[in-house]
């Protein structure tokens, strides 16, 4: 009789163990699915003071403008602004892994302007951008990467400005990323669309910046939505 009770007790404990294990596995799988879904909806804008909306309300910066465009079209994506004022490509390379957080479906790299303003050699900027792209793909292998180009004013000298402008399409081609030809197209050098420093866009200027990014980002989001 004691043997039978022990066998029944052993069977019950084993059965309960299997149930608990199955429930734990289901919860872990569900949590993983939730995390994957959240990640697949994130669009991280990795940039500097222009991305951060220097001198403006956060709601006026171009990442917030892009979020409104996304919502207007009913697209299931979250735009995350990861802009740090004064950041260079070297600084971006150091922070890219944690700036991505849980990951992203799309990452827009809007860095390089401060490199140019500081006269950093274009080859160094190109190397840093390549490192940022590799770091993104290491953490988010399926992420679509978009690189935003920049230009310098003519007073930096023709050799430098030409080499600087050329590095962005070159990096994009070498790393197979999409390219926004010039982040500040229609904004750079126009006093009415820039703040008093003639570097940072006004709220109206940020609308133009958002449109420049949207021309490339929009089709990417439509494609990703169809894949879901």
Catalytic residue numbers?
49, 197, 200
Query: What does DSSP assign to residue 121?
Result: -
Backbone phi and psi for residue 194, each to the nearest 5 degrees, phi listed first: -130, 155
Residues 6+ apart with CB under 8 A from 40: 105, 224, 228
Instruction: Provide the token pair at 102.
Output: 């849980």
116 within 8 A of 61, measured Cβ to Cβ: no
Instruction: Name the helix (H) or strand (E) containing 219.
Output: helix 203-227
Strand ranges across the sheet with 178-180 = 78-83, 42-47, 106-110, 144-148, 178-180
């Amino acid at each position: 009789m004691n043997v039978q009770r022990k066998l029944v007790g052993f069977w019950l404990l084993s059965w309960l163990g299997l149930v608990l294990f199955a429930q734990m596995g289901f919860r872990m799988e569900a949590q993983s699915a939730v995390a994957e879904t959240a990640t697949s909806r994130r669009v991280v804008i990795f940039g500097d003071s222009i991305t951060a909306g220097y001198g403006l309300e956060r709601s006026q910066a171009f990442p917030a403008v892009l979020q409104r465009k996304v919502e207007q079209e009913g697209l299931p994506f979250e735009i995350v602004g990861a802009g740090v004022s004064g950041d260079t490509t070297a600084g971006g390379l150091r922070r890219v892994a944690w700036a991505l957080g849980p990951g992203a479906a799309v990452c827009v790299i809007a860095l390089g302007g401060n490199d140019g303003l500081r006269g950093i050699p274009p080859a160094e900027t190109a190397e840093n951008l390549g490192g940022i792209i590799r770091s993104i793909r290491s953490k988010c292998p399926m992420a679509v990467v978009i690189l935003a180009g920049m230009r310098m004013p003519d007073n930096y000298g023709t050799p430098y400005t030409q080499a600087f402008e050329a590095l962005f399409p070159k990096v994009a081609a070498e790393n197979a990323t999409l390219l926004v030809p010039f982040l500040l197209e229609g904004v750079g050098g126009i006093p009415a669309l820039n703040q008093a420093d003639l570097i940072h866009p006004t709220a109206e200027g940020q609308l133009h910046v958002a449109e420049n990014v949207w021309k490339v980002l929009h089709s990417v989001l439509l494609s990703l939505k169809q894949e879901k």
